Amino acid sequence: MSSTFTIHYFATASQYTSKNTESLPAPLKLSTLFDELETRYPGITAKVLSSCGVSLDGEYVDIEEDKELLIMAGSEVAVIPPVSSG
Amino acid sequence: MTSTEPTLPPHLDPRTYPRHYHDPTKNIHLTLTYNPLDANTYLSETASPAAGANVLFLGTTRDTFEGRSVSQLSYTAYPPLTMKTLTTIAETAVETHGLEGVSIAHRLGSVPIGEASIAIAVSAGHRKAAWRAGEEVLEACKEKAEIWKREEFVDGRMEWRANADRDSEGRLLGDKAV
């Protein structure tokens, strides 16, 4: 069985990908996450990801400052668009 | 049902709700639920013999957005982050205003027009702290809580909202304001 991590999409990110969740190959360097998503969903970086946060296993990560971080098999990533509670 | 059918992640599965968090020392109550919000529940959670002021805010769903008719709204959350964020907001309010209690509840899934999507109850010794804390908690939730609103219009279109686009009086902000 291949190694994967889970990625969850919300709001505009789920609209763009037409998915709530999927599995992507692990390990993956955090710095290449947006490139990986851009390959799968052309245009997503400019239209959606540029205004999104990212969490890894329940903690926010910084795509630039934490770029050496590896997303390991079994990890849970979430793409967090601007929020709209209330 | 077949094994190839995609399974709903737990945070989108109503059967994994309601989700509660309770801190008895700070008297903090958090609720994420697919059921209607009951205001009395949150008022009783924050009630205290030491409290002389009890403030309740209910945010209810509106039937228009920029003059267009909204037929239905729905909300999703990501509790691993949402609960942490709400905990921080509630703890900050308790510490800043010396509250006797705070309860934050948000409804998920489809919310019919006119029903409450968010309820905030705070209690304090005196009214000034309670009023201020109620407003601060609401504004912090709107800014930070990982919950997303989707509006469905009567023409069938659907749009995801972003609170950062508007201020507390509903005015457009930043580069979206023209």
Question: CATH number for the domain including B58?
Answer: 3.90.1170.40
Residue B1 lies in a domain: no
B148 contacts in chain A (CB < 8 Å): 10-11, 81, 83-85
Residue B43 belongs to domain spanning: 16-162
Residues 6+ apart with CB under 8 A from B102: B26, B27, B28, B29, B46, B90, B93, B94, B120, B121, B122, B123, B133, B137
Select from B78, B81, B162 the Cβ nearest to the Cβ of A84. B162
Reported as a single tens digit per residue, the pLDDT across B12-29 is: 999 999 999 999 999 999
Q: What is the dihedral of CA B171, B175, B176, B178, to 10 degrees?
A: 80
Residue B115 lies in a domain: yes
Residue B178 lies in a domain: no
Residue B46 lies in a domain: yes
**CATH number given to A4-80:** 3.10.20.30
Select from A8, A85, A86 the Cβ nearest to the Cβ of B9. A8
pLDDT at B2: 44
pLDDT of A54 over the 50 cut: yes
Which 90-119 residues of chain B touch chain A by CB within 8 A? 106, 117-118
Q: State the pTM of this model.
A: 0.94
CA distances (Å), origin B10, targets A86, B2, B83, B108, B138: 22, 18, 14, 13, 26
A11 contacts in chain B (CB < 8 Å): 76, 148, 150, 160
Residue B65 lies in a domain: yes
Q: pLDDT band for B177, please (50, 70, 90 cuts).
A: low
Q: How many domains does chain B have?
A: 1
